[in-house]
Structure 1
């Protein structure tokens, strides 16, 4: 099921902060809920579990950030991976209840600024086909394709932003 991506500002202030290792399980569950938002079946989702699981020991190394609502709810996450000059947006997911509320825009903007500040010239990512319109609205461009890390035979759009 293809959903329309809205680009509106969040209704309530959302804070972007570094994720904590003890939040890894909650963030993994958020990533799976977000992926399921696109209507994928159970078999597809089962195949994605390993790729979408964030382990406590990976949180800092993957430069994980979260979008947090004033009431403490985690609304999204993103990771900036690799070393300058070229990085990777490893994970970027928004809780289905927050999709279309500007959380993705805030996360992507934060990752872009963090990448620039860390000396990255550009970063790329394998995009879910349903998220391509959002990423294009954020300035991303398709630069090729890449095999899915979860499903043999599935090919994903490869996107990039830069120079930063």
Structure 2
């Protein structure tokens, strides 16, 4: 059974706490224990005051449930995919793909030519499937001694402009 397509829209004031909990739930999907997730909490915490500056976009189902979000950070020409998380119940139903496609389109329209991604190891295959390439590793901001895959996504000129929100 397929899930309905999500509507993508800018995050609204008051949604940061729900996005933080979604990020932690999504991270927990990969089997990390409670201590690991608690160590990541500060890095995964969204704040209402930063939603717009981080260009936060949410994926929302027709019933109003937020099932994913992503941030586009930095200034052109090189940007950063700061966060991208999908609710575990909807992983594999196109939510991540919709967010990634929208991210690339918005980034290109804003003048970005390259996005860097510090990926959870469990998400690396997803980003590679979206066209990113692994360029190295980077230290985790939450777990001392842990190294995350560093990926880059070059934005081609044929990426369509984002749909109006």
Gaps of 5+ in 2: 157-165
Which consecutive unaligned segments of at least 5 residues does structure 1 have? 1-9
Deviation of 1:146 (Å): 0.4
Structure 1 counterpart of 2:148: 156
- The offset of 1:11, in angstroms, is 3.0
TM-score normalised over the length of structure 1: 0.93
CA separation in 2, counterparts of 1:13 and 1:156? Answer: 30
User: Pairwise mapping of residues 7-156 of structure 1 onto structure 2 (< 5 A)?
Assistant: 11-156=3-148
Q: CA–CA distance in 2 between the matches of 1:46 and 1:28?
A: 12
Q: TM-score, normalised by structure 2?
A: 0.92
Question: SS of the counterpart of 2:23?
Answer: helix
Number of equivalenced pairs: 156
The offset of 1:26, in angstroms, is: 0.4
Q: Matched residues in 1 for 2:53 and 2:155: separation? A: 23
Q: Which residue of 1 aligns with 2:160?
A: none
1:83 CA displacement = 0.1
- Number of the residue aligned with 1:6: none
For the 8 Å contact 1:21–1:55, the answer to whether it is kept is no
Q: Which runs of 4+ in 1 moved over 4 A?
A: none
Q: CA deviation at 1:125?
A: 1.1
| Separation in 2, partners of 1:163, 1:101 | 24
**2:95 and 2:130 mapped to 1: Cα distance?**
12
Give distance in 1, aligned partners of 2:109 and 2:37. Answer: 35
Return the alpha-carbon distance in structure 1 between the equivalents of residues 142 and 24 of structure 2.
Answer: 13
Kept in 1: contact 2:5–2:95 (CA 8 A)? no
